[in-house]
Amino acid sequence: MTKQEINRPVQKYRVGNIEAAVWHNTKEFDGTEVGYKTVTLSRSFKKKDEDLWRSEVINNLRKQDLQKLRLVLKRVEEYLFFEGDDRND
């Protein structure tokens, strides 16, 4: 694979140990190449017994999935802060 063929994110955003990478993808649909973007969420962590940072992928999401994810996460947040049991945080 040449350097030009390596798929790299078009944009990255990081807050603490959470990173979102935006990817541009293409797919052939009815004989036409169609472009679309996906988002990969990852979490960085360091094992106690190693001096090495690792990263794990949370999930791949399409643009139209983001609003659903935001709404679901908002509901989880509301539950945890307003209805959940604070003793198990």
pLDDT score of 84: 62
**DSSP letter assigned to residue 84:** S
CA distance 38 to 24: 7
Chain segment 58-71, per-residue pLDDT in tens: 766 667 777 887 88
Does residue 82 register a pLDDT over 50? yes
Higher pLDDT, 78 or 89: 78
State the average pLDDT over residues 12-20. Answer: 81
Residue 88 is predicted with a pLDDT of 46
Length of the chain in terms of residues written: 89
Is-contact 14 22, C-beta < 8 A?
A: no
Tell me the CA distances in angstroms from 65 to 4, 36, 39, one per residue in order. Answer: 29, 13, 9
What is the SS3 assignment for 33? strand
